[in-house]
Chains A and B, each alone.
Chain A
Amino acid sequence: MTDATVTRPRTRRDAQFDRIRDREAKLAGTTQRKGRFLSKFLNNRLAVIGFAIFAVICLMSLFAPLIAQHDPMSPNLRAIAKPPSAEHWFGTDKTGRDIFARVLYGGRVSILVGLGSALLSALIGVIIGVYSGYVGGWLDWIAMRISEIFMSFPQIILVLLLVAILGQSLVNLIVIFTLTGWGGIYRMARARMLSIREEEYVQALRSFGLGPARIAYKHMLPNALGPIMVNITLSTAAFILQEAGLSFLGLGVPLSIPTWGNILNAAQDLRVLEQNWWIWLPVGATISLFVLSVNFIGDGLRDATDPSQQG
């Protein structure tokens, strides 16, 4: 297709450029893109600590059957509301279930809800936001209005509505979180696209006649991934808190399934709150620790992907 190889007589300029190339060659070849990202992340001590805590909690939940010595569901009538002991590390609740086991098993569901909802809403938000932000026009207008409708809907009413219609379930909760959560990530992806759209490399691709989907998803999206990843981590943390909040009210995951929120639910009873601190404090601390660690990871990602801090 090209005849760029056409040989032409060497000119003085060629020699000049050869010298420039040699100089360039000497300077080149030291920087590595991937390595820079990783080293920046690892240099951020809080992010590394956050990642360690995050990993420990995730792994312990994942391998709960191997770690926990008790079944999280079966009541033990001889050990009701016992404080922490060698047998029950976090004590037992009012029906004699081992709280340590419940926190581990509960983590599985809570993390699933948080991460699952965050990933799903990111998927929806990114697919819509990247395309409509690049193309603009009426499509963008419609997407924007829809997201406004979903975001202005009070979440608690949506939850009540869906619980009333569909009943309580894990899947319903994820659906609700996704429906109310995609708007934020959509707006962020769209805003990124609006600014990237003006970059000259995008204009160049358009001047080649490449289709909008290809330009938006293949060429522009990689440049918006940093903020999107940050947003996913932060909304994971937010969803876990929301799950805890809703379950505490008895509106979240059915009470029969242990989740961090459902364990906390027992603390609705004032007597439990005053006398049986081990029923709510360990799980509360776990939630805080987890959310905090996820936020640290998010901050670390943000700094590591910030294009204004090239180095």
Chain B
Amino acid sequence: MQPNDPILTLRDVQVHFPIKSGILKRTSGHVRAVDGVDLDVYRGEVLGLVGESGCGKTTLGKAILQLVRATNGTVTYQGDGGETELTTLDDAGLFAFRKRLQIVFQDPHSSLNPAFTIFGSLEDPLRHYGVKTRKERRKIVGDLLEAVNMRRESMDRYPHEFSGGQRQRIGIARALSIQPELVVCDEAVSALDVSIQAQVLQLLMDLKREKNLTYVFITHDLSVTEFLCDRIAVMYLGKIVELCDAEELYSNTLHPYTEALLSAIPVADLDRKSQRIVLEGDVPSPVNPPSGCPFHPRCRYAQPVCRTDVPQLRRYRGKSGQHLAACHLIDHPLAD
């Protein structure tokens, strides 16, 4: 992995959904699902995107793929042909880039069309990208299924005949069918049993090595990311609050929110302090985010300044010198 070769650059990305109310459908407010995200995704890395549900991580993933369009800000793709700003392209212009960016979904039950065989579901994208004959498409789909450790013959069966883990493998096969460079895995293993999770994760990592993929791995589960990700971005209410190397995040946690998330993981390791920090209350509504630091109503270190000033994402030394966090108090030692 070359650290300074970004494949994707996000600058001040915002996704706001208007809330319509009344008979006249006037916009009465906005859901700030993603609220100003700066992020580089490096070629060949696994970037974890972590946060509670409702923090905007899934929306951010979809904004990367242009499945939802950013209200503001830019998403730039850097390939062999130079830079392209995806956020300014229309559907026709996006076509060439769709095949570079793909997604694996969370729910294995809704990710495959129940009315189609596996081949029926997988062949249309291939045809769309110019695989003309049925024979060729059958060969490709068969190869793909074998690549995710399924039988070739599975392609003529219907989704309901498969287990959750199998369907998830088929979903991975579909995402790889047009040879993407970057794959967004949106809670790709969260719906699976723990034992099957491990297999699917292992499969994802093998495929990454074989095909030189880059992953953006979206999850709420910090115990999954530890073994998988090179870097981790922690999101809260549409903003990135901490971003650094995975190892660093676990060994030198800076942000109080990350600290609370980490304390919720059950640990077998006796060295790690396992005192659980309970987060009180729910995630505040992204319609009216709290003033100042969005985390202050739940933060156990909150100071008066947190209520009024928005903390900026600042750089800290850490081990790699690349540790970003957004909190007023990090300059001072955290009280314990």
Do they bind each other?
yes
Contact A25 B151 (CB under 8 A): yes
Contact A214 B124 (CB under 8 A): yes
Contact B177 A2 (CB under 8 A): yes
Contact A33 B147 (CB under 8 A): no
When A1-B179, A207-B103, A310-B160 are in contact, do A16 and B199 touch as well, CB less than 8 Å? yes
Specify which of A5, A16, A24, A200 lies most central, judged by the most chain B CB atoms within 10 Å of its CB: A200
Contact B111 A201 (CB under 8 A): yes
CB distance from B200 to the nearest CB of A (A): 11
Residues of A with C-beta under 8 A to B308: none
In the complex, per-residue mask of A13-37: 1 if CB is within 8 Å of any chain B CB, else 0: 1101100110011001001010000
Task: Kindly count the residue-residue contacts between A and B in the assembled complex, taking CB atoms under 8 Å apart.
Answer: 109
The yes or no answer to B41 lying at the interface (CB within 8 A) is no
When A4-B143, A13-B202, A310-B160 are in contact, do A206 and B67 touch as well, CB less than 8 Å? yes
Contact A209 B94 (CB under 8 A): yes
Contact of B124 among A20, A203, A207, A210 (CB under 8 A): A210
Q: Please measure, in the bound complex, the distance between the C-alpha atom of A204 and the C-alpha atom of B125, giving whole angstroms.
A: 10
A-B contact pairs, 15 of them (CB 8 A): A2-B143, A2-B144, A2-B179, A13-B199, A13-B203, A17-B149, A24-B163, A24-B166, A199-B111, A204-B171, A205-B125, A209-B128, A210-B124, A214-B124, A223-B113
CB distance from B210 to the nearest CB of A (A): 6
Q: Please measure, in the bound complex, the distance between the C-alpha atom of A8 and the C-alpha atom of B146, giving whole angstroms.
A: 12
In the complex, per-residue mask of B228-256: 1 if CB is within 8 Å of any chain A CB, else 0: 00000000000000000000000000000
Contact B178 A1 (CB under 8 A): yes
Contact A203 B160 (CB under 8 A): no
In the complex, per-residue mask of B111-124: 1 if CB is within 8 Å of any chain A CB, else 0: 11111100001001
Q: Please measure, in the bound complex, the distance between the C-alpha atom of A3 and the C-alpha atom of B161, giving whole angstroms.
A: 27
Q: Please measure, in the bound complex, the distance between the C-alpha atom of A6 and the C-alpha atom of B114, giving whole angstroms.
A: 30
Contact B160 A204 (CB under 8 A): no
Interface of A, helix, strand, loop or mixed by DSSP: helix
Residues of B with C-beta under 8 A to A1: 126, 129-131, 140, 178-179
Contact B176 A2 (CB under 8 A): yes
- Count, chain B residues at interface, CB 8 A: 56
In the complex, per-residue mask of B300-332: 1 if CB is within 8 Å of any chain A CB, else 0: 000000000000000000000000000000000
Q: Please measure, in the bound complex, the distance between the C-alpha atom of A228 and the C-alpha atom of B3, giving whole angstroms.
A: 55
Binding site for A on B (CB under 8 A): 62, 65, 67, 91, 94-95, 98-99, 101-103, 105-107, 110-116, 121, 124-126, 128-131, 140, 143-144, 146-147, 149-151, 157-158, 160-161, 163, 166, 171, 174-179, 199, 202-203, 206, 210-211
Residues of A with C-beta under 8 A to B151: 21, 24-25
Instruction: Please classify how large the interface on chain A is, using the bins under 10, 10 to 19, 20 to 34, 35 or more.
Output: 35 or more
Residues of B with C-beta under 8 A to A218: 124
Residues of A with C-beta under 8 A to B150: 21
Residues of A with C-beta under 8 A to B112: 201
Q: Please measure, in the bound complex, the distance between the C-alpha atom of A24 and the C-alpha atom of B161, giving whole angstroms.
A: 10
Residues of B with C-beta under 8 A to A8: 210
Q: Please measure, in the bound complex, the distance between the C-alpha atom of A17 and the C-alpha atom of B206, giving whole angstroms.
A: 13
Contact of A5 among B110, B126, B143 (CB under 8 A): B143
In the complex, per-residue mask of A231-268: 1 if CB is within 8 Å of any chain B CB, else 0: 00000000000000000000000000000000000000
CB distance from A305 to the nearest CB of B (A): 11
Specify which of B102, B158, B161 lies most central, judged by the most chain A CB atoms within 10 Å of its CB: B161
Q: Please measure, in the bound complex, the distance between the C-alpha atom of A310 and the C-alpha atom of B116, giving whole angstroms.
A: 16
Contact A200 B106 (CB under 8 A): yes
Chain B, residue nearest A307 (CB): B114
The yes or no answer to A208 lying at the interface (CB within 8 A) is yes
Residues of A with C-beta under 8 A to B128: 208-210
Contact B98 A203 (CB under 8 A): no
CB distance from A28 to the nearest CB of B (A): 6
Extra inter-chain contacts (16) besides given A33-B160, A199-B111, A209-B91, CB under 8 Å: A1-B131, A4-B144, A4-B147, A13-B199, A200-B105, A201-B113, A201-B121, A203-B105, A204-B175, A207-B101, A208-B98, A208-B124, A210-B124, A214-B124, A222-B115, A223-B114
Residues of A with C-beta under 8 A to B175: 204
- Sorted nearest first, the 9 A-B pairs with minimum C-beta distance are A4-B143, A222-B115, A209-B98, A17-B149, A200-B105, A208-B125, A4-B147, A200-B111, A199-B110
The yes or no answer to A219 lying at the interface (CB within 8 A) is yes
Residues of A with C-beta under 8 A to B202: 13
When A5-B143, A28-B157 are in contact, do A223 and B95 touch as well, CB less than 8 Å? no
Residues of B with C-beta under 8 A to A209: 91, 94-95, 98-99, 128
When A1-B126, A5-B143, A21-B149 are in contact, do A208 and B178 touch as well, CB less than 8 Å? yes
CB distance from A223 to the nearest CB of B (A): 5
Residues of A with C-beta under 8 A to B146: 4-5
Residues of A with C-beta under 8 A to B174: 204
When A218-B124, A219-B124, A307-B114 are in contact, do A4 and B94 touch as well, CB less than 8 Å? no
CB distance from A154 to the nearest CB of B (A): 25
Chain A, residue nearest B171 (CB): A204
Contact B111 A17 (CB under 8 A): no
Residues of B with C-beta under 8 A to A6: 210
Chain A, residue nearest B65 (CB): A207
Contact B140 A4 (CB under 8 A): yes
Specify which of A4, A21, A223, A310 lies most central, judged by the most chain B CB atoms within 10 Å of its CB: A4
Contact B143 A219 (CB under 8 A): no
CB distance from A271 to the nearest CB of B (A): 55
